[in-house]
Structures are given as C-alpha cells and as structure tokens.
Amino acid sequence: MVNSIITKNLNVYYGDQQAIHNISLDFLKNKVTALIGPSGCGKSTFLRCLNRMNDVIDICRVEGNISLNGMDIYSKEIEVEHLREKIGMVFQKPNPFPKSIYDNVAYGPRIHGFTDKKEEMDLIVETSLKKAGLFEEVKDRLDDMGTSLSGGQQQRLCIARAIAIKPEVILMDEPCSALDPIATSIIEELITDLKKSYTIIIVTHSMQQAARVSDKTAFFHLGNLIEEGDTSKIFTKPDHQKTNDYITGRFG
Amino acid sequence: MTNLAKRKKAELRFRFYGIFSVFLSLLFVAILIFNICSSGIGGFYKTIFLTSIHFDQKLLNLEDNASEEQIRNASFRKLIKNSFDESFKDYSKDEIKQIKKLFYRKIDIELKNFLINNPEFLNKTTKVELTASTHIDQIHKGNFDRTVQEKHRKVNNFQLEIYDKFVEDQKVKKVWNSTYFTSGDSRDPEAAGVASSVKGSVFTILICFLLSFPIAIFASIYLQEFAKAGKITDLIEININNLAAVPSIIFGLLGLGILLNFFGLPRSTALVGGIVLSFMTLPTIIVACRSSLRAVPPSIREAALALGATKNQVVFHHVLPLAMPGTLTGTIIGLARAIGETAPLLMIGMVAFIMDIPSNPLEPAVGMPAQIYLWSESSERGFIEKTSSAIILLLMFLIVVNFVSVYFRKKYEKKW
C-alpha cells in the first residue's frame, strides 16, 4: 500500500479561532477515503488544505506538514497552480462555467497548455467525458451551455473537468448533497470506477454513502480526528464511543 | 378576520399609490416630450420661396463652362438686383428693398451654391428654392401671431401682403432643412445647424469613454479581486463613492486649473472636455463594475482556481466576462450623464460661438448641451425652435445609446 497524501500535525486557524487540531492522516493511493463528521467539524477545511484552496482566505493560517508523493505542498518550491493540476477538486454545488460543455472540459488542459491541436483536445474532452460517464448523454450537444444540463449531469461535467487535467488525487466536497437519489447513485458508481486511476478523498454527510463508496473512513469532531480506519471496521465496531454515537445517528 | 381585511385593504391602498405614481411619472414624461416635440419638430423644416431666376452669363461675368472656382469668385449682386427689379417691376425701389427682406439675407451664397451644384443652368432660367427670412419662416409655420400690431412685428403690412401673394401663387413651401444637420452655428437662425455641436459631442464622449472605461475596469478589478481588504482599501472605496457625488462643476474647475493652466492643453477642445468628463464618469463606472464583480458567484472563482488557473486567468477568463453586462450598464449610465453635462464644459471654454465643424478633438468645439444653452439665450425668435430641435436630437442620441447598451447587455448576459 502506497501513501499518496500524508498530513502531519496539521493545525488550521481562522484568525484566532482554531478550526483543525493537530491532525495527522494518511491517504492511500487508488483508494477512496471518506471524511465524515457533523457540520462544522472541520472536514471541509481539512479537504481544502490539501489543494491549498484556503490560500485565498486572508485570515486562514495553516501549520503543519502536508506532502504529496513525499513533496511538501506548502514549500516555496511548489507552485500552487501545479499542485492543483495534480489534485483536482469537485465542489458541493455543481459549478460548471457558463460556457459550452466542450469548453468546460477543455478549459483546464488549455490553460496548462496540454495541447494546441484541435484533434488532441477533442480526444481529451471525449475521454474525460467518457470517464465521467457523461459522453453518451451529451455527445450531440457539446456546444450547449454546461449550465443547461441537469444537476446530476452538471456534477458529472465538473468531474470530467477535474479529470481532464489528469490529476492524481480528486477531492470531493459533498459532491452529492445537491443531487437527487438517482443522480447520487450514478455518481457513486462513478467514484468506484474512478478509484482505479485516482486517489479519491470525499467529504460526505451521508453515512450510507461513506459506507458504500469508501475503503477508508475518518471521523472528525470539533476539529479533531477522532478515529480512522477501514470503512468496514468504522461502521461495524468503532473503537470510539463518539464514532459509534455518530454513525448510529445519536448526534450530529 | 378583521385583521386580514385590514391587511388586504392596506395592500389595495398600496397598489393604488403605486399605480398613481407610475401614472404621474409617465404623465410628466409625456408632457415633456409633447412640449419639446411640438415646438421643436418645426426646426427640422424651413420655409422656402420658389423663385424663378435667370442665370445671365453677362451679369455674372462668366464664360461658358465656367469652373467651380470661377463661379465661386463671381459676383452675384448684379444678377440679384436685376432679378428683383424685373420680377417686381410695378414696385418702387424702397418697396423692392422691403421685399428683399422676405428672403434670407445671403441670397448670393444660396444662388452660388445652386449654380456650383448645377452648372448646366448657366444662361438659363430655372426655379430656385431660396430660403425665407426667419421672420417669414416663423409666420409661415404659425409660430408667430400675424395679427399683432404692426409696430410689434418684424414683418410690416406691406411685406405680409407680398408674402400672402407668394402663398397664393404657391411659391411658398415648407421643405426638409438639411442645412440644420450639415452646418455649424451661425448668427442667423436660417443658417444655424447642429453639425459642429454633434461632432463636438461625439468627440468628447469618445474620448471620455476611451479614457474612463479601461481605467475604471482595471481599477475595479484590482480593488475587488487583488487588493487585500483593509483600512486603505476601505478608504479608497469611500472616496470613490464620494467622488461619484461631487458636483460636476468642480471637475470643470479641476480641468481648468490642471489641464488648461498647468499642462497647457488647448482651450475649448473636445480633448479637454473628454478628459474632464472622464474624471466625472470614472467613479460611476468603478462603482458599477465593482458591484457586478462582487455579484459573480464565488463558486465560479473556486472552480477555476481548483483547476490550477492563476488569479489573473480566473479574473479575465471567468469573472470579468460575467461582470461585463453590469459594467456596461454602469458605463452607459455614466456616459449618458456625461453627454448631457454642461457645467464642467463651461469652465474649460466649451461654450463658444463655433461656426466651423471640428475635424479632430484638438479643434475648438461645443457639445450639444452647450449649443442648446447658447441658442436658448438668443433673442431671435427662430432660435427657440432650433433649441427644441436640438433637444429632440439630444434625446434621440440618448435613446440610441440606451438601446446599444441594452443590446450589449443582452449579448453578454449568460443564462445560469
């Protein structure tokens, strides 16, 4: 088992308030890790540290160490744009650009200068959409606005957009919370497919979803990592009382 | 239940107030438009006398196939005198002099222009449209009551008699006044036109737009997207908002003090006018642009950032295009205000009697509002009409600008 991302003694502060307390957590390559926990427990903050999305928040301060394949991602040598090329992200609310479906997917490869040939770009767009399981539905209308798709399709478009820049890791911040059950199940299948090629870290509020899609689960509470381990173990016989209370729905 | 009845009644009352206010504001607009149109439409027409003229070669002292240059240099005085003496044989010298006053005083120029455009009529007789004097023009259009006492009229009874005779002979006509659109200002209402002021306004607004639009966009992008939030940014923001409310004449004084006196830019020019108006327009556009940038959902920024776009790319690929419709609306509002602005232009000398049509922004010019102001001060009756006509043109100009802005907004607006 190879670790993809390793975090060590991570502390995150918003101004004076500490949002994450000394978390050390490793993520296995080509596995799905679910981060669960009640609202405000810091799991989204934690996730956004992994591709340095918190950089844009002025008052946010990150201490500790995060490394991707052994490289410290907060070191000066790492350009944040390169980092985000390696660690893609899918957000809670589908947020396609108000551009065509094609341009949505092609945007990432274009700015990173993957290719300037039309045919190669077409291929990238096609394979990305295929991997996201959207190609069959949209192949005849690639010029339509990305925003004209349904919610579930939009979220798959966002996944295709993230895949198109060939990341190693995909971060998903409650990707199904705005979707209906059918769209959710499609995305869950997709996640299971995608883990063959990518390391996936998913924040979710749905216990069932965590149980269905993830290999590893980490339980967060009030900015602390309470427990982590194999999903089967966390959901059947957790070590911690709090974890047990949460997964059985007694709080949260 | 009585409570609900009360609430419903309150709603009904509010609706009534609303409808009443809408009606009232529409009424004001309607009165304004009607008033201006009724007094201004006439200005687009002029009264002419169809006059038979024999372009006698000898009187003009011109050879066959005279060149344009020769016609221009020829004296038409003898020809005019001869024509009048011949047409009004039965009248005394003094009476003929009075008849002549029914015509616009520059008959020679009108005839000259006619002959230059139609040289084939040399030595032939033809009917020429000669512009009537402004007093006759006003009487013919019904703007002047001809029953007032003779001593209060510019046109005496004898002249009226002749005029009536012309009307009877169907020699008087109202025609489209193309001079109004092609000539500059003049002391004579018959010859005054809006061309110089329209061109002055166009130059001024163009310069104002070219300066204020890019500067405002860059300033707002920097303030909104790049600058760190803090005391200094707040201070700048407050000051920009204050700047938007500064009386426009202050900007004129600024232009006078700095642009004219310190930098020595040419006085009364569209260049200086445009710069001064852009001072005034800048804050309006910045405020509009910043609020549209703020309205772009953060999720779009996050999406682009997460793909590894640089901040610059996020702004120019995604945020700015989405903020463009709002920015354009603000720009048009700012420019529309600038078009109608007179006060700052007074300060830099853009209210002057300018006959020549400016060919570039470095030549002296007036704007349309200043032209309207100048004409409205004239004592000549004919200028009242010209003033209203110019207002109609200015309003049409604004309507066109507004339609253009709506078009661009619709074009760039993205559906979500």
User: Does the residue B21 lie in any domain?
Assistant: no
Predicted pLDDT of residue A252: 56
CB contact under 8 A, A89 and B309: no
Backbone angles phi, psi at B234, to 5 degrees: -60, -45
Size of interface A-B (CB pairs under 8 A): 68
Chain A residues inside the 8 Å CB shell of B308: 81-85, 108, 111-112, 165
CB contact under 8 A, B313 and A112: no
Segments of chain A with pLDDT less than 70: 1, 252
Q: Residue B116 corresponds to which tokens in the numbers above?
A: 């230059």
Q: Rounded distance, CA B197 to CA B32, Å?
A: 23
One domain, residues B145 and B219: no
One domain, residues B306 and B380: yes
CB contact under 8 A, A97 and B313: no
User: Does the residue B257 lie in any domain?
Assistant: yes
What is the length of chain B? Answer: 416
User: Does the residue B20 lie in any domain?
Assistant: no
Q: B220 near B244, Cβ under 8 Å?
A: no
Q: Residue B120 corresponds to which tokens in the numbers above?
A: 């084939």
Q: Residue B89 contacts by C-beta under 8 Å, 6 or more apart in sequence?
A: none
Q: A67 near A3, Cβ under 8 Å?
A: no
User: Does the residue B26 lie in any domain?
Assistant: no
- Assembly ipTM: 0.90
A48 vs B: CB within 8 A = no
One domain, residues B163 and B200: no
User: Does the residue B19 lie in any domain?
Assistant: no
One domain, residues B221 and B261: yes
Please list the alpha-helical segments (H only) found in B314-380: 320-339, 343-347, 368-376
> Mutate which of A95, A154, A171 to disrupt the B interface (most B C-beta within 10 Å)?
A95
Q: Which domain holds residue B320?
A: 195-412
Q: Residue A236 corresponds to which tokens in the numbers above?
A: 């059947």
Q: Rounded distance, CA B373 to CA B367, Å?
A: 10
User: Does the residue B15 lie in any domain?
Assistant: no
The CATH number of domain A3-247 is 3.40.50.80: no
Predicted pLDDT of residue B1: 64
* Cβ-nearest to A85 among B302, B308, B322: B308
Residue B1: CB atoms within 10 A of its CB come to: 5
CB contact under 8 A, B302 and A112: no
Q: A84 near B307, Cβ under 8 Å?
A: yes
Predicted pLDDT of residue B415: 56
User: Does the residue B3 lie in any domain?
Assistant: no
Give the start-to-end residue ranges of the domains of chain A. 3-247
Q: Rounded distance, CA A144 to CA A133, Å?
A: 17
One domain, residues B279 and B401: yes
Q: Rounded distance, CA B331 to CA B283, Å?
A: 10
Query: Which residue in chain A is spatially nearest to B322 when comparing CA positions?
Result: A98
* CATH, residue B228: 1.10.3720.10
Q: How far is B411 from chain A (nearest CA, A)?
A: 14
Predicted pLDDT of residue A142: 92
CB contact under 8 A, A111 and B309: yes
Tens digits of residue pLDDT in A139-184:
899 999 998 999 889 999 999 999 999 999 999 999 998 888 888 9
Q: What is the mean pLDDT of each run of 10 residues along chain B (416 residues)?
A: 87 96 96 90 89 85 81 86 86 87 87 86 87 88 84 85 87 88 87 90 93 95 88 91 89 91 90 93 93 92 92 93 89 88 88 85 89 88 89 90 83 67
One domain, residues B110 and B237: no
End-to-end CA distance of chain B: 43
Backbone angles phi, psi at B9, to 5 degrees: -65, -40
A59 vs B: CB within 8 A = no
Give the number of domains in chain B. Answer: 2
User: Does the residue B182 lie in any domain?
Assistant: no
DSSP per-residue codes, B57-96: HHHHT--TT--HHHHHHS--HHHHHHHHHHHTTTS-HHHH
Q: Residue B153 contacts by C-beta under 8 Å, 6 or more apart in sequence?
A: B144, B146
One domain, residues B356 and B240: yes
